[in-house]
Each structure stands twice: as structure tokens, then as C-alpha cells.
Amino acid sequence: MNSPAIEVRGLTKRYGARAAVDGLSLTVEDGELFALLGLNGAGKTTTIKMLCGLTEPTDGAALVYGQSVQDGGAEERRMVNLSPQESAFAGKLTVRENLELMARVYGADRAAARDLASDLMSRLSLTDRAGDQARKLSGGLQRRLSIAMALITEPRLVFLDEPTLGLDIRARRELWNTLRELKGKMTIVLTTHYLEEAEALADRIGIMHDGALTALGTADELKALSRTDNIEDAFLALTGADEMEVER
């Protein structure tokens, strides 16, 4: 039997007396699209950084495909990639140059890097912008390029941290379609504070609030748990968040 993509037990990150993540425990199955839903400051990004090995946990354990994140080496790094909130590309390089550079960093030869870049540009509708400098792209295209750079290493597990943050409705919907096409081809962990995004895309949703996981299940299970037919009402009931805090 294959190992789960992620196994987390008691994962904690403290900054002084404040717990950014507090005793998080969960399992994400191989091939699942899992959403971490929560307001800004809920602990989503800190969780992702610990699972990627970018931040040391204060306590607890995390395994990625059976390997400890804390002890992970080159093999673990090859299985995982991240599309962060901030820009993850060289602004003065073109779209193609950014993608080929990332592929080469991860060991592809020149011909393979060119083929990988062409494939990702086609899949993410970037081909007609291949020669454009990344810094001159629209916000939606920059997010698409950032995701392409995370995918070009052909990871088994990819983390997408707030991939639609700041995008207009049309650009957000286009990225939703891209993520739907990727479902089942790899494990995707998506962090978001957009309630409808988690409901539309995720196989399961984990709701975080004040660093803790307060609920876990499918969108329908979470609505049933809170006795509502609306994901926003379910979120409010399961976190105690003030209605004015929730993104609409």
C-alpha cells in the first residue's frame, strides 16, 4: 500500500509565546486535492513552510510519502514543490527562460528543459507569452507562471499557497479550471481564504483558525456538521469567526 502523501502529528510552531500553528494533526492521501481554509493569520502559510522544510517546527512530526520532512534530503525535495504567495520568478527573464532555468536547476538537460517548458506553457496557456518578460505579465499570468515553475519539476506533491490571492474573478476562474485539470495527476495542497474556492475544488477541506485545525471533511460533511447548506455559514459556525472577517 502506498504511503499517504502527508502525515502530520502534533505539528507546532511557536514564535515566543504565540503559537502560529498549534498541535496540527492530519493525513492527506496520495492524489488528493486538499484545501486548508482559513482567514489571514490562521496558520496556513506557516504550516506549508514546515511541510516544505522551509521552517523548523517547534514540536511534532511531519512525513511526506513516509519520509521525515525534518530529515529530508535530495529525494524528498525532488518529490515536492511550492508555488508561494510572493512572486517566484526572475522578473527580467522571459516566461520560457524562467521555466527552462528552473528545469535545469532540478537536473534536466537543455533539450529536456526546453520540452518541459513548452509542455507547461501549453497546459497553462502561456505559449503566446513565451518571449515576454515575467515582470510585464498581468497578475493572473504571473500566478500561472509561478504555478508552472512549481510543476516543471514534475513533483508528486505540490503546495499552492493562496494561488488566486488578489486576482479578479475571471483570472481566478481560469486558474480554477487549470487546477481541475491537475486533479488526480499529483497531490495538491491548496491554501485559501476564499470559501467558494475550497468548496469548488477540494476533495476535502481542513479549516484552520488561530493556528489550530477546527474541522476536517468534505464540503458537504462540513455543512452537515454545522447544520447548514452554505459553506460560509459552516465556516462561521466551525471557527467562531466574525462574519465581517470572511471574504465574500
For 104-157, the pLDDT digits (tens) are 998 999 999 999 999 999 988 899 999 999 999 988 889 889 999 999 988 999
The C-alpha cell that represents 103 in the structure block: 528545469
Q: Radius of gyration of the chain from Cα atoms? A: 18
In degrees and rounded to multiples of 5, residue 123 shows phi and psi of -65, -30
Place of cell 535545469: 104
Does the pLDDT of residue 246 top 70, yes or no? no
* The CATH fold of domain 6-85+152-245: Rossmann fold (3.40.50)
pLDDT tens-digit readout, 174-210: 888 888 988 888 999 999 888 889 999 999 999 999 9
pTM of the model: 0.88
In degrees and rounded to multiples of 5, residue 12 shows phi and psi of -140, 140
Residues 149-169, mean pLDDT to the nearest whole number = 89
Does the pLDDT of residue 35 top 90, yes or no? yes
Distance CA 48, CA 191 (A): 8
pLDDT score for 228: 87
- Where would I find the H helices in the chain? 44-51, 74-79, 95-105, 110-123, 139-151, 169-182, 195-201, 219-225, 231-239
Tell me which of 73 and 148 has the higher pLDDT: 148
The domain limits of the chain are: 6-85+152-245
State the chain's mean pLDDT as an integer: 89
pLDDT score for 74: 59
Residues 66-91, mean pLDDT to the nearest whole number = 81
Yes or no: say if 158 and 80 are a contact pair by the CB < 8 Å rule.
Answer: yes
pLDDT score for 241: 59
